[in-house]
Structure 1
Amino acid sequence: MSHENGHGPAVLEGLRTPSKALRSAIPDVYAGFSSMHRAALEPGTVDAKTKELIALGISVAQQCDGCIASHARGAAMKGATPEEVAETIGVAILMIGGPGTVYGPRAYDAFLEFHEKYAAKG
């Protein structure tokens, strides 16, 4: 499948250098965020895949392309299916309306890019 706009890996790659520069400027902020990120997404009563799907839906609602790419990758790595992602995006569209019909397809495309990569690894 061709992903003309590159909503997944290309977005993350584009953020790599500026993120590294900012992380060097404010390392304590990034360390705190990283710690919170790990704690929030680790499996507990709610499994890690479901948490990534929730984060992906919120990323659509927040209209954040970098967040979409990151959590699309996380959902793919945790074994989410295209159907699960589509339904998650459907809930985001319900909650935010029209903008969800713009950012939802971006999220689905990003997920499919990562899904192809991680599904192939089995």
Structure 2
Amino acid sequence: MGDGKAVEDELRTPARDLRHAIPAVYAGFARLHDAALRPGALDAKTKELIALAIAVSEGGDGCIAAHARGAALRGATLEDAAEAIGVAILMDGGPGTVYGPRAYAAFHEFHAEDQTRPAGQAGRAAATERKVPA
């Protein structure tokens, strides 16, 4: 099983099919997603790291992939991701030690991809850029 891009690829077609079947639900979720991750008292990077930690605790590979990518795009470091995942392991116990490494591997994958962007673009995602399976 892949940890990042492979999970996104696996979910792309079924997510697209479901989004077409229930567009109002997906539109509502997109608005909620954008509002929750919009910078405020917490910056977008911190919010993505929180979401990544919750994804580890919930054991959701799709959410792990999405928020590992989101955190990497918003400039999180490997150390940031490791510490957020460590908090998830604290709160979740044993299951966190299964999904934590998956999340860290997914973050590594997206962090490496982000580091190959041209100078000035690494860690700077457009406010509306989201990598939700299409």
Q: TM-score, normalised by structure 1?
A: 0.95
Give the C-alpha shift of residue 120 in structure 1.
Answer: 1.4
Give the C-alpha shift of residue 11 in structure 1.
Answer: 0.3
- Out of 34, 42, 47, the position equivalent to 1:46 is 42
Greater helix proportion: 1
Gaps of 5+ in 1: none
Cα deviations by residue, 1:72-103 (Å, 9 ceiling, x for unpaired): 00000000000010000100000010000000
Matched, 1:92 2:93: no
Matched, 1:8 2:1: no
The SS at the match of 2:39 is coil
* AA in 1 matched with 2:107: F
* AA in 2 matched with 1:72: A
Give the C-alpha shift of residue 119 in structure 1.
Answer: 1.2
Q: TM-score, normalised by structure 2?
A: 0.86
Q: How many matched pairs?
A: 118
Give the C-alpha shift of residue 6 in structure 1.
Answer: 2.4
Identity of aligned residues (%): 65
CA–CA separation in structure 1 for the residues paired with 2:108 and 2:45: 15
Give the C-alpha shift of residue 43 in structure 1.
Answer: 0.6
The within-5 A match list for 1:1-122 is 5-121=1-117, 122=122
Runs of 4+ more than 6 Å apart:
none
CA–CA separation in structure 1 for the residues paired with 2:93 and 2:113: 30
Give the C-alpha shift of residue 57 in structure 1.
Answer: 0.2
CA–CA separation in structure 1 for the residues paired with 2:24 and 2:112: 35
